Structure 1
């Protein structure tokens, strides 16, 4: 007791705060979920004979990213710009017949999706259009014929999954209808960015498309609507879908914030909302999220944060927080090379940034398969998750995240790991001075201690 008191006093005098993480490898909670999905694929050379070599293929593949959603791919020159993914890119002349193979231009989208698949990543295909911020709108207006639009989507799916129109047998499972139709509820007829029609028009388009696609492809996951954030709109949307008996394999939604706990809380609300309208078996998928303090004056600060260690800590903390909520899949926005939202890869070199290692660390957990109990002290800034494998490997991921930039004291975190023998364990640290750097920690009485900066991530690996 005397020695513990002396140690505690010494830490306090040294300016350290203290916290505990308790890991119980015997208590299995379920699978490690795919919290490390992203929007979009790797960046690299494009076109034939391009000698300007710059890519992130090896690092992207090493992160074992489970899903890449294709929204906003048309902004990226690496992916084919305006010639890729969007419905208006693949089927540019809406006056042509939906079942005419010559009406479709799949070339660059084929090339882009093939590159994603080469990474070992599953394509999550968004059927619709990129966001449009300019004074003139091109692809976000309601289609002239909703039934025909649904048939166009059908033939795109047939191309990628059934080989139609010199296509492929790629078994792309997830198909999402549109993106953020709720974003401009008040300005849809003056300055829309994602949907230039009324709410009821979108409900009709979704209803027709979902029913048609589910009839054609009963084994695929058809869903949406990629909710921007308007929960009242979401309630009306789900009420309409339930009334019209529209099948929905997944309900997708978005959030941008500075607080992982707010994301976790919203995942609970989205699950409750889907259940309210009879969609208890429908997956809930958060497929756009990132750190944003504000969209105006704080916007530059937000983007700078995304690229740094604070962004990495926020990313890891969000993954950990959501692992313990009902949300089924997460997809970070964005891995697209040219966007300032990309906290994974540097704009100029495509080399990994700090947040990349949060994704890499999560893949190491997912590789073990089973989540086991890990509880951090009831403090605002500490998040913990653990997993074990059949070979007795235990990995514990701890993130310390602080939105308050005035917090600067390090924290001594004691990780209590039941059934781990005394000796040494390997740890990998992500901090202001380390990028997944390996270090050795001593274990005594099943406890390993590590010092964490206000924003940092550590992964500890031990044998049971």
Structure 2
């Protein structure tokens, strides 16, 4: 038996309901299409995980600013008004695949990184092309999808050194204005935002304060402000709480109180040289999914919820889930378990901590779910920092681009409390003096049950779980 200090009691109050935040978005390639038959079909996993919205940026659906046969508009000397001038087919297939699982699409307008990062040569022409792309995906122009796309994002990491945008901030801002004007010509009720900044804690930055000032001065719409965050430099699931609070204050102080906060990318690691076991990544994913519910983030996209095969960079991104052929691993299962758990009505939970032991519960119809994650940060993340700064190198061909970013303050609470087991006490259950069926699914894929368990006359139930480091369990109770 574990020492008492190694056991944690987690209390779920089924009578205290609230709403989950809608944070179950993903980025990634849905599956095989013409020209890319080697991409595995991720839609069964996305369906199991209850994915609600998919960000398109990592698809082939990029609007390059120079002639490119794979671009949405391959030839900039072509007739803008002629449907034959556009290359919609692969993207249409992916949008239909996303719509088929009941999810929406957030369509990102950005150039064909890494091959081209140049600004538009003719901003007015660029806007007219954007308009036709939006008409295709929102109004069915040129045989567009039956179900309209209603969310459009502009830009992807324009602040990422010379790697994503090789123009001046003023040129990027002019393209955003052309983008907004084009979308409004199609339908003013469509949702627009951007610019998916890579380094959200850099103060007085051109693509942060500078971008917001341009939007305000030009009276442009900004329904959401998007950013991304990975934890290579901290390994801390609560980074997102800190970063989001900083950005929310920034937006509110500048009058953007109605602008939503969108986390366009999140994951454990993003730098190609960063490594960790799949179980550690999966435990982090589950713990972070739970932690995100108590942030001021309005929408979030896990990146990347596919095999990591990339149509642009020509390598397998370490941020994927499963193996290169799509077979599941702990990262895939974490995505599915968290997605299944954080649906329906949220139930009050107490007993977790800020050291990696996280718990959430929800009730969806006749099923009650409890998700428990025991993420243990590696020793490298616990060593005292010299400064709250993370520097890294990105290999692009023969180049080695060195970049750096500001980190949230280091938390001493990140060190694991060493919990080895948990007692889950469920109170005020919707069933009294009854037998329900319990199923426990772990990060390894092992499934225990369903087995009958008794609910007391007072509507209470207790269950015990052994919690190894980097473990995740989903408990499902059904009448």
Q: Counterparts of 2:6 and 2:105 in 1: how far apart (Å)?
A: 44
CA RMSD of aligned residues (A): 2.8
Cα offset for 1:158? 0.6
Structure 1 residues 248 and 215, CA gap change in structure 2 (3 angstroms):
farther
Q: Deviations over 1:291-324 (max 9, x none)?
A: 12x84xxx4442x43xx11111111111111111
Query: What SS is found at the alignment partner of 2:3?
Result: helix
Of 414, 421, 427, the residue aligned with 1:412 is 421
Structure 1 residues 118 and 342, CA gap change in structure 2 (3 angstroms):
farther
Cα offset for 1:130? 4.0
Match of 2:363 in 1: 388
Q: Counterparts of 1:332 and 1:141 in 2: how far apart (Å)?
A: 27
Structure 1 residues 419 and 350, CA gap change in structure 2 (3 angstroms):
same
Cα offset for 1:176? 0.7
Match of 2:346 in 1: 371
Match of 2:468 in 1: 453
Of 236, 239, 243, the residue aligned with 2:210 is 236
Q: Counterparts of 2:354 and 2:222 in 1: how far apart (Å)?
A: 38
Match of 1:35 in 2: 23
Are 1:209 and 2:179 counterparts? Answer: yes
Q: Deviations over 1:394-431 (max 9, x none)?
A: 21111111112697966111112112457665243324
Of 20, 23, 32, the residue aligned with 2:9 is 20
Q: Counterparts of 1:383 and 1:235 in 2: how far apart (Å)?
A: 34
Cα offset for 1:327? 0.8
Q: Counterparts of 2:222 and 2:290 in 1: how far apart (Å)?
A: 27
| Contact kept in structure 2, 1:388 and 1:394, CA below 8 Å | yes
Match of 1:265 in 2: 242
Of 178, 181, 188, the residue aligned with 2:155 is 178
Q: Counterparts of 1:301 and 1:262 in 2: how far apart (Å)?
A: 18
Cα offset for 1:441? 8.8
Match of 1:346 in 2: 323
| Contact kept in structure 2, 1:311 and 1:343, CA below 8 Å | no
TM-score normalised to structure 2 length: 0.79
TM-score normalised to structure 1 length: 0.82
Of 200, 222, 233, the residue aligned with 1:248 is 222
Q: Counterparts of 1:376 and 1:408 in 2: how far apart (Å)?
A: 12
Q: Counterparts of 2:452 and 2:286 in 1: how far apart (Å)?
A: 21
| Contact kept in structure 2, 1:43 and 1:350, CA below 8 Å | no
Q: Counterparts of 2:188 and 2:257 in 1: how far apart (Å)?
A: 18
Stretches of structure 2 that go unaligned for 5 or more consecutive residues are 310-315, 381-415
1:143-158 maps to which residues of 2 (within 5 A)?
Answer: 143-158=120-135
Q: Counterparts of 1:158 and 1:402 in 2: how far apart (Å)?
A: 48
